[in-house]
A and B are shown apart, each in its own frame.
Chain A
Amino acid sequence: MYKFFNIWFFFSLLVSIFVIIPIITVFTSFFEETSNYYELLKNTFLIEYIFNSSVLLICVLVLTFIIGTSSAYLVSFFDFPFSNFFKWALILSFAVPPYIYAYSLTAFFENYGTAYTILKNLFGEGNYNQHIPKFDGMLGAILSISFSLFAYVYILARASFLYQSQSLIDLGKNLGFSKFESFYKIVLPAARPAIVAGLSLVAMETLAEFGAVDFFSINTLTTGIYNSWIAFDDLAFANRISFFLLLFIFALFILENFSRKNARYHFNSRGGFKQKEKIKLIGNKSLYAFSYCFLIFFFSFLFPLLQMMYWTIKFPENLFNLEIFELLTNTLYIVILSSSVLILFSLISNYGNRVSKNKVLNVLSTLSISGYAIPGVILAIAFISFIAWFDNSIIKSLGFDSIKKVFIGSILGLVLVYFIRFYSLAFNGIKSGYEKINISVDESAYLLGYSKRKTFMNIHIPFLRNSLLFIIILISLEIIRELPITLILRPFNFETFATTAYISASEDLLEAAAVPSLFLILIASLFIIISSKYILRENDE
């Protein structure tokens, strides 16, 4: 038994308990008193919340599947003009969070919006507004989320296509399949687990989406949670709605884990793998492939970027009114602080798992990475609920001063919740780096006289360097885009690009939201470009 109770065990236990607090808080909320608002909602809006969330989820899944898989297929199997450019350009859509896409969509298509201005400049004054389609409400939310998130499907499907051996394609030819039949009968089924994994991520993000649905005033479970807290000050009810949302999420989490395990079967080992030869497209086919990919690139990235740039140029006063430097330092401050904490703890946890080979530790680690499945809104509100309970029931009863201010509305609280949310990103990233180091490498080091510390410093860290860099960029990207946690838990007067954009947009000042949105897109794009090689697994090619 003594083997269990070492420093690694306690460390992992601590992290796991910490990460699991929001889940426990949500579940215990069922035993708490709530306001009348619950009774009112239970019979009315709750059904609407669930219905809207389901419609949103299904439509986004269908759209991201079509866009993600088709574009991944084109760039993986065919050679056409700019196909190498589109290969990484299509992931730039990650730089545009759904809420910024939503602002762009509205800004462009609204009455007297950008589309109107373009038509007016081209054809003179006219009654164009009635002819310009309106992408708001549910349709707007579906489009915003789909164009922002399709890259999850694109990246995983492409990686899976990439690992499909030429032998598999040759087999299709040998069986007399046409290109379409090969795609439909061989390529797609073989990539299915990867595509399902991508769709599961899209689904979790869609259910967790707050900014875009709030902007389009759609009542979903996420906005329901936020409103019950902000408008009715009813944390217990917010947690009850969270419970329903978590049920959705856990079902998806299980599905995602299940499909991810299957996906391993499709990664060929060195021996049997035969590099694919891309088919060179010529003539009209080449033009169609280029146009298709360009349209996706345009709508997912260029369109919101150009819209935000247009407004920034059109209303330059917003640029000067904004404390850009302060927003930048605030954003970088939480990014650096959070990623340092995440990397440090994930490294310790992973190293502990590796050296102790303890099964209980493995289970604890699996528990502690569940945070990524929980929407930011739930995490933030559950965290507040927990701190409030802890403060009232324990701290105050022991006669100490309230600790609420230390954790709520503070950088510490913000970093702690980011930690729960993004721990899996850091932990799994380092874990997959570690999986590439055979355990006999460690043992060889010991046998060469290296201590555990020296093995860690001289063997592990240099090997993990690239993975760590990639994880830091990925975490930074997520934190820059993150909205609900920052919005709910940030200290008073502490704004980031995301919160500034949200606040301006929620006050119907879309022009003012353009500047922070533009900066957010540019910084995120920079991070994506730096890390594109890793995201696309080019190093494995």
Chain B
Amino acid sequence: MSKNFFEVKNVDFKVGGKTKVANVSFAIENEGDIICLLGPSGIGKTTILRTIAGLEKIERGTIELKGNVLSSNQKNVEPENRNISLAFQENSLFPHYTVEKNILLGADRNKDKKEKNLNFQEIIDLLDISVILNKFPHEISAGEAQRASLARSLITNPDLLLLDEPLSNVDQSFKEEIQEKLKKILKSSKITTIIVTHDSYEAFYLGSKCGIILNQELKQFDDPYNVYHLPNSIEVVNFLNRGILIPAEVTSPKSLENKDLGTITGNFNKPFPIGSKVKLLVQPEDLHHDDQSNLKFEVIDRKFRGTNFIYTLKTPSNLLIPVFVHSHHIHQHEENEKFGIKRPIHIDHIVCF
């Protein structure tokens, strides 16, 4: 019996006989933890949630909740008997009931359960849906339907809550506010949650652990900091798209050399023999701007991101290197201008492949 609250062991997730994600293993150690599954559209994230909810069967591996096997090739607990709630990405509200009735149907599920983590009003306030309670699903917007669906899932007081792109239709202006409230309420009510999203910022904010699903595999399952700073494969780097891989040669246990950037020092995430030709991950925040530096490259693009600029620099070897600069930096650099990089270059986590 597993000591983890929830565990997926060596499961092939299939839909219609076709394998979407193979040989997946991950666990949620404690009740109330939130984890996020991140990956591009169509990769099989939803299939994983549907399988955990019992809507798809498995032929290999096991899925356990609170030490009980829910799915294996021998056993399949029906969805209605799992006490797992899934909020679908699309509108899955009952079309002939009002939003309020839809949500209250969710409350019926655990009406006999003594311990109630969340009440109706709390959820309505959290998701700001009091004005649509008397409306029918066809009378509300996609974002409102998504929040109503989320409310219905939350109120069921499930052992495990599964959220499929829960905020994909919610307006950007409202999204961060809901993310904060959602995280707070899930934590305070100790609802164990798996969130599927393709928004890495959302995943890094909400999840205590993040799983990256790529090419039919769970590539990495780690805390958000490690996923971002210590990606374990080139696929994860490419998926997160927050840096570039440049050629370099390992010159000592703490340094390497690149033709354009010169010597780079730091701590390797894993040891490489001296003299190895590697690909070094350079993320925008790894390099620092210095007007006085004699290491200068041409600016070919500048992206304004509110709090910062991301400059794209072109090196003599035609590498395109991103550099992060605070937006309150004293002056800006235009395209085709020269842009100085502070030396010596030191990167805390040297990630090489």
Residues of A that sit less than 8 Å from B by CB: 436-438, 440-441, 443-451, 459, 462-463
- In Å, the complex CA distance between A448 and B106 comes to 6
Minimum Cβ distance to chain B for residue A448 (Å): 5
| Interface assignment of B243: CB less than 8 Å from any CB of chain A | no
Some 17 contacts from A to B, beta carbons below 8 A apart, are A440-B90, A440-B91, A440-B92, A441-B95, A443-B86, A444-B86, A444-B88, A444-B92, A444-B93, A444-B94, A445-B94, A447-B55, A447-B80, A448-B80, A448-B85, A448-B156, A449-B108
Task: Say yes or no: A463-B80 contact (C-beta < 8 A), given A446-B55, A448-B105.
Answer: no
Kindly list chain A residues whose C-beta atoms are within 8 Å of the C-beta of B108. Answer: 448-449
Does B90 contact A446, Cβ atoms closer than 8 Å?
Answer: no
Does A440 contact B88, Cβ atoms closer than 8 Å?
Answer: yes
- In Å, the complex CA distance between A437 and B105 comes to 17
Does A463 contact B96, Cβ atoms closer than 8 Å?
Answer: yes
Does A436 contact B53, Cβ atoms closer than 8 Å?
Answer: no
Minimum Cβ distance to chain A for residue B117 (Å): 17
Kindly list chain B residues whose C-beta atoms are within 8 Å of the C-beta of A447. Answer: 53, 55, 79-80, 82, 84-86, 156
Does A449 contact B95, Cβ atoms closer than 8 Å?
Answer: no
A446's partner among B78, B91, B93 (CB-CB below 8 A) is: B78
Q: Mark B44-83, 1 if CB is under 8 A from A, else 0.
A: 0000001001110000000000000000000000111111
Does B79 contact A443, Cβ atoms closer than 8 Å?
Answer: yes
Kindly list chain A residues whose C-beta atoms are within 8 Å of the C-beta of B50. Answer: 443
Chain B's closest residue to A448 (CB) is B109
- In Å, the complex CA distance between A441 and B78 comes to 16
Kindly list chain A residues whose C-beta atoms are within 8 Å of the C-beta of B83. Answer: 449
Chain A's closest residue to B149 (CB) is A444
B80's partner among A437, A446, A459 (CB-CB below 8 A) is: A446
Task: Say yes or no: A446-B95 contact (C-beta < 8 A), given A440-B88, A440-B90.
Answer: no
Kindly list chain B residues whose C-beta atoms are within 8 Å of the C-beta of A449. Answer: 80-81, 83, 108-109
- In Å, the complex CA distance between A449 and B113 comes to 14
Kindly list chain B residues whose C-beta atoms are within 8 Å of the C-beta of A463. Answer: 94-96
Pick the most buried of A437, A449, A450, A463: most chain B CB atoms within 10 A of its CB: A449
Does A441 contact B94, Cβ atoms closer than 8 Å?
Answer: yes
A450's partner among B80, B82, B88, B93 (CB-CB below 8 A) is: B80
Kindly list chain B residues whose C-beta atoms are within 8 Å of the C-beta of A448. Answer: 80, 85, 105-106, 108-109, 152, 156
Top 3 A-B pairs, shortest CB-CB distance: A440-B92, A446-B79, A444-B92
A to B contact number (C-beta, < 8 Å): 62
Minimum Cβ distance to chain B for residue A270 (Å): 8
Does B90 contact A438, Cβ atoms closer than 8 Å?
Answer: yes
Kindly list chain A residues whose C-beta atoms are within 8 Å of the C-beta of B82. Answer: 447
Q: How large is the interface on B (under 10, 10 to 19, 20 to 34, 35 or more residues)?
A: 20 to 34
- In Å, the complex CA distance between A463 and B97 comes to 9
Minimum Cβ distance to chain B for residue A401 (Å): 48
Kindly list chain A residues whose C-beta atoms are within 8 Å of the C-beta of B78. Answer: 446
Chain A's closest residue to B162 (CB) is A447
Chain B's closest residue to A270 (CB) is B138
Does B80 contact A441, Cβ atoms closer than 8 Å?
Answer: no
Minimum Cβ distance to chain A for residue B31 (Å): 19
Chain A's closest residue to B102 (CB) is A444
- In Å, the complex CA distance between A463 and B93 comes to 12
Q: Mark B183-225, 1 if CB is under 8 A from A, else 0.
A: 0000000000000000000000000000000000000000000
- In Å, the complex CA distance between A364 and B221 comes to 46
Task: Say yes or no: A462-B106 contact (C-beta < 8 A), given A443-B88, A450-B80.
Answer: no
- In Å, the complex CA distance between A449 and B82 comes to 8
Minimum Cβ distance to chain A for residue B70 (Å): 13
Pick the most buried of A443, A450, A451: most chain B CB atoms within 10 A of its CB: A443
- In Å, the complex CA distance between A445 and B86 comes to 10
Kindly list chain B residues whose C-beta atoms are within 8 Å of the C-beta of A459. Answer: 94
Chain B's closest residue to A271 (CB) is B142
Does B92 contact A443, Cβ atoms closer than 8 Å?
Answer: yes
Pick the most buried of A436, A447, A449, A462: most chain B CB atoms within 10 A of its CB: A447
Does A441 contact B156, Cβ atoms closer than 8 Å?
Answer: no
- In Å, the complex CA distance between A440 and B149 comes to 11
Kindly list chain A residues whose C-beta atoms are within 8 Å of the C-beta of B79. Answer: 443, 446-447
Chain A's closest residue to B109 (CB) is A449
- In Å, the complex CA distance between A462 and B105 comes to 15
Kindly list chain A residues whose C-beta atoms are within 8 Å of the C-beta of B109. Answer: 448-449
- In Å, the complex CA distance between A459 and B78 comes to 18
- In Å, the complex CA distance between A440 and B86 comes to 10
Kindly list chain A residues whose C-beta atoms are within 8 Å of the C-beta of B94. Answer: 441, 444-445, 459, 463
Chain A's closest residue to B153 (CB) is A447
Minimum Cβ distance to chain A for residue B25 (Å): 24
Kindly list chain B residues whose C-beta atoms are within 8 Å of the C-beta of A438. Answer: 90-92
Minimum Cβ distance to chain A for residue B83 (Å): 8
Kindly list chain A residues whose C-beta atoms are within 8 Å of the C-beta of B91. Answer: 438, 440
Minimum Cβ distance to chain A for residue B223 (Å): 29
Q: A446-B80, A463-B94, A463-B95 are in contact. List 12 more A-B contacts (CB 8 A).
A: A440-B88, A441-B94, A444-B152, A445-B94, A446-B55, A447-B79, A447-B80, A448-B106, A448-B108, A448-B156, A449-B81, A459-B94
Chain A's closest residue to B83 (CB) is A449
Kindly list chain B residues whose C-beta atoms are within 8 Å of the C-beta of A443. Answer: 50, 53, 55, 79, 86, 88, 92
Minimum Cβ distance to chain A for residue B17 (Å): 10
